Chains A and B, each alone.
Chain A
Amino acid sequence: MNDMSEQKITLQAATNAAIDEIVTHYPVKEAALLPVLHKVQDDIGWLPLAAMDWVAERLDLPKVRVYGVTSFYTMFRREKLGRHRVEICTNISCSLMGAEHLRDHLSRKLGIRPGQTTADGRITLSEVECLGSCGTAPVMLVDDEFHENLDPVKVEKILADLEARDKEAGNNG
């Protein structure tokens, strides 16, 4: 599945503390599975096999239960994606407002198709289902942040800002 299967994961103290608190919300620990997977993913960026195994142990669940749940939900990433995720909605309301043209514009700018990651590992582009923001369509998420009422100029600015931030952080690949 991935090359981290033999490795152990290390979580930040804050993540561990958050998980300890989440578990107290339920009469049974297993109900914490989705929120705990979110916390682990937010910490390490995705859910390698080692992360799912860690969650299984933390919640006293069979590993297969965690794999099964993880694979059911689209927000859980079982593959390492680019450092940034650009997710554009093309469902009905966004489509009516030109989302497919924006998707193609993004594809051209990034040189990749939806589902692919740029060669430098910076950006993964994907086409997603309705994000519940139809009154401000077209809409996309960039690293979980909503960008609404988009047009090609705004999209280019968002990509430029992302690049500038990466350069400043010194991790532009």
Chain B
Amino acid sequence: MAEKVLTARFDVTDSHRLEGYRADGGYKALEKALAMKPEEVIEEVKKSGLRGRGGAGFPAGVKWSFVPKESEKPKYLCVNADEGEPGTFKDRYIMELDPHALIEGSAIAAYAFGSHAAYVYVRGEFKLPIARLEGALAEARKAGFIGKNIFDSDYDFEMWVQPGAGAYVCGEETALIESNEGHRGMPRLKPPFPAVVGLFGGPTVVNNVETLAYVPHIINRGAEWFASLGPEKNGGTKLFGVSGHVTKPGLYELPMGTPLREIIYDVCGGIREGHELKAVIPGGSSTPVLTPDEIDVNMDFDSLAKIGSMFGSGAIIVMDETTCMVRVIARLAKFYAHESCGQCTPCREGVPWIHKILERIEAGGGREGDIELLSDICDNIQGNTICPLGDACAMPVRGFIAKFKPEFEAHIKQGKCPIGPIPNPWNNH
């Protein structure tokens, strides 16, 4: 069985409380890091190969090193706990079951790039994770792990929870910063990048919850150990959220680079009984879909990029033969249309247009030329907007059409959905 890092404490009674966290060695990494030079902490994390677990996969230590050493304005850490990418459900478990790991990782990260304040931007629906995190912050503050002069190091650090309010776009780092400042969550033009001008105008790092939760382990056990858990340039383990038509959906911690086939068939027990695999979305709803002959891919950033998809957040959505591909991508387009912030015309107009066309095809009103039209709209969205939300719709639309074109054509030709309505799993009820 592969080594558990982040989930090792998930089954412990009251795993969210400070007492148990300390008994398991909690906050020793922070003490160790505070005795190191900030540059040494950054170097260690760079060497570990830790890449951002929010979706983009940018090396965490490199991101921290972009923050200017000298700054007139205070520097900030924004923890991205907005977890909104359909299929993704990992950060909530870290906050619910091991919130001190996130606090400790955040304090180490902030120390490394010279920040004294962090905000955890948690999606507003996550009432329990928010409560657990606030409880843990109160415990840590009382015990002196956050506050003034931590471990007599002269280092001060504060951390607060910032609740979101139901806007997917706020998972994009500059929209998150806008929202954290009390504005509508509309992404900013880059440059300037947040590392230079971010929250309240100060240099800012935005890191995903899972990314930061690995940091104490890297400091405790060393970069080499972490790097050795995964393939080259893809260090560590990963929380994979598997949903859809597998026998055992759920959250699994596995080494980076675990083959997708192994995850679906060995870890998750294969496709639900009596059915067969039709398609897999490998990394959350924005990542291009894979067909059954592509599942021997290793689940890491570079391997998925090589076959034209993306690792994303490691959210694996499995679909069997009862699933209509047009219906699925139409539903996803509806989501992106709902979540477009409206700032850029190509996204605001193009994404709802894509949704309308896909719904029409699914409803039997498909016309010749629709597939080309969809591709043309995608062309006019991709690369023409401030943030990647429009691309996040266009990429899977292209992917579904490329991999399942005959199914789209059959809808248009037959004037109906050849797969039929979504089966009712409770038909005998």
Contact = CB atoms under 8 A, between A and B. Distances in A.
Interface of A: 25-28, 30-35, 37-38, 59, 68-69, 72-76, 90-93, 95-98, 100-101, 129-137, 141, 144-146, 151-153
A74 B331 CA distance: 19
Nearest to B338: A129
Contacts, number: 155
Interface string B65-92: 0000000001000000001111111011
B424 interface: yes
Given A97-B425, A101-B424, A132-B89, A34 B251 contact: no
Contacts of A151: 425-426, 429
Given A31-B180, A74-B165, A132-B123, A152 B426 contact: yes
Nearest to B329: A92
Contacts of A137: 243, 249
Contact of A129 (B168, B180, B323): B168
B429 to A, nearest CB: 5
A134 B241 contact: yes
Given A27-B200, A69-B184, A98-B422, A133 B89 contact: yes
A73 B167 contact: yes
Contacts of A68: 184
A92 B167 contact: no
B56 interface: no
B87 A35 contact: no
Nearest to B423: A98
A92 B182 contact: no
B244 interface: yes
A37 B89 contact: no
Given A130-B85, A132-B84, A151-B425, 7 more contacts: A32-B182, A34-B124, A73-B124, A73-B185, A76-B166, A131-B125, A134-B89
A134 B317 contact: yes
Interface stretch (B2-10, B106-114, B156-164, B356-364): B156-164
A131 B429 CA distance: 26
A93 B317 contact: yes
